[in-house]
Amino acid sequence: MDNFKFHASTEMLFGKDQIQHLPEVLARYGKRVLLAYGGGSIVRNGIYAAITDLLKDFTVIDFAGIEPNPRISSVKRGVELAKTHQIDVILAVGGGSVIDCTKVVGAGAYYDGDPWDLVMDPSKIDRVLPIVSVLTLAGTGSEMNRGAVITHEGLQLKKGTGGPNTIPKVSIVDPTYLYTLPAWQTAAGSADIFSHLLENYFKKTPDAFVQDRVAEGLMQTVIHYAPIALQNPTDYSARANLAYASSLALNGMTGAGKGGAWSVHAIEHELSAYYDLTHGIGLAILTLPWMRHILNEDTVDKFVDYAVNVWKITPSGDKFATANAGINATEAFFKRLNIPLTLKAVDIDSSKFEVMAQRAVQLGNLEKSYVPLSVDDVLTILKACQG
């Protein structure tokens, strides 16, 4: 495997009632808190009240209304609030969208230019206001990584950024906070965790045994617990295992020492940039056509590993049959999560395929992915998703 630096510095407070530690955690950074959240789920489920109750001794400035697929206009609003109110620490309460947005807000607080610069050129990110997160949706891993994905609504461009200082200092992960997630978001988050593991798994590095066995265990965790969480949203074990899996799937561990670009995420970011699609749903739709497109003599052994180790498929003499059985098992799993597996089912037609394919290849460096993908390859994959 390649040389690597692994530095997942976030302190995680995991489990029921860990929110009680919030005052002492925030006090490490100061008294002026920017409380960032989304469209109101935390108000409806009582998390907002619990937090504001605990923060009576702090000056709390509300930064509400961060949308899924967070927009640069929200980032700008947050930067304005952070600067005006001389914020010491940002408290991000939500899923990946809220946490991602605050990462660029935290960087923007120390940047005089247009915050979009920080998205287009991550090297411009220097100092960042400390970020403490309270996770309410297991999926992105944003609670334990430096990544932030922001949409420029004017340009219909969605792009990732981040720097060493955008990783949350502390993340509070209380699995009971996930109980109120709608089934659609539970399924999407689970597909997202699964896709992060696949992206790192399907790489050319031949000897990343540790990373791949860890990834297989985390994939099995999602396969086991996602259907349970869907059937019984208040199953603590299911929520806890999915939440921990989400953090470990994208904190750098399973991708360490494995070079090259990801494959499916870049294409999905185009779907959510143009159509505001839920990220994990787009990933699930794209994954199966992508797998079927790249299965060949060079990749079949990796697909056999995947089929046998993750899906416990008994290998047959025919490697391609075993590989395809693994892909079919993946399809059956996504169907079990009630994810619609065609673009038609989420009202996306072919009118933007060409421009999306071009941008995905360019922004995602898809020529460096596991099996290099050209614009024509991406077009073929998109067409196979149409349904």
Q: Kindly list the residues in this chain that would bind Zn ion in the complex (CB under 5 A).
A: 192
Q: How far is the CB of 350 from ligand NZQ (least distance, A)?
A: 22
Residue whose CB is less far from ligand NZQ, 157 or 188: 188
Q: Which does 45 bind (CB under 5 to 8 A by kind): Zn ion, ligand NZQ, none?
A: ligand NZQ
Residues in CB range of 279: below 8 A, 6 or more apart: 69, 96, 139, 140, 188, 192, 268, 272
Q: Which residues bind ligand NZQ (CB under 6 A)?
A: 38-42, 45, 68-69, 94-98, 100, 136-137, 139-142, 145, 147-149, 177-178, 180-181, 185, 188-189, 192, 250, 265, 279-280
| Cβ pair 159, 150 in contact under 8 A | yes
Q: By beta-carbon distance, which residue lies closest to Zn ion?
A: 192
121-145: b (≥16 Cβ within 10 Å) or e:
ebeebeebbbbbbbbbbbbbbbbbb
What's the rounded Cα separation, in Å, for the pair 266 and 325? 26
Helix 209-231 / helix 236-249 crossing angle, nearest 10 deg = 150
Q: Which does 189 bind (CB under 5 to 8 A by kind): ligand NZQ, Zn ion, none?
A: ligand NZQ
What's the rounded Cα separation, in Å, for the pair 11 and 284? 30
Q: How far is the CB of 104 from ligand NZQ (least distance, A)?
A: 11
Residue whose CB is less far from ligand NZQ, 140 or 369: 140
Q: How far is the CB of 311 from ligand NZQ (least distance, A)?
A: 23
Strands 11-14, 170-173: pairing kind: parallel
Q: Which does 94 bind (CB under 5 to 8 A by kind): Zn ion, ligand NZQ, none?
A: ligand NZQ
User: Phi then psi for 60, rounded to 5 degrees?
Assistant: -110, 120
- Full DSSP string of 3-72: --------EEEESTTGGGGHHHHHHTT-SEEEEE--SSHHHHTSHHHHHHHHTTTSEEEEE--PPSS-BH
Distances (CA, A) of 223 to 2, 96, 103, 329: 29, 21, 30, 10
Q: Which does 41 bind (CB under 5 to 8 A by kind): Zn ion, ligand NZQ, none?
A: ligand NZQ
Residue whose CB is less far from ligand NZQ, 66 or 295: 66
Strand partners, 171: 12, 133
Radius of gyration of the chain (CA): 20
**For residue 197, which of 108, 137, 262 has the smallest C-alpha distance?**
262
Q: How far is the CB of 364 from Zn ion (least distance, A)?
A: 13
What's the rounded Cα separation, in Å, for the pair 106 and 154? 22
Q: Which does 372 bind (CB under 5 to 8 A by kind): ligand NZQ, Zn ion, none?
A: none
Q: Which does 148 bind (CB under 5 to 8 A by kind): ligand NZQ, Zn ion, none?
A: ligand NZQ
Residue whose CB is less far from ligand NZQ, 27 or 155: 155
Q: By beta-carbon distance, which residue lies closest to ligand NZQ?
A: 38
Residue whose CB is less far from ligand NZQ, 27 or 43: 43
Residue whose CB is less far from ligand NZQ, 38 or 323: 38
Q: How far is the CB of 285 from ligand NZQ (least distance, A)?
A: 14
Q: How far is the CB of 237 from ligand NZQ (least distance, A)?
A: 17
Q: How far is the CB of 38 from ligand NZQ (least distance, A)?
A: 2
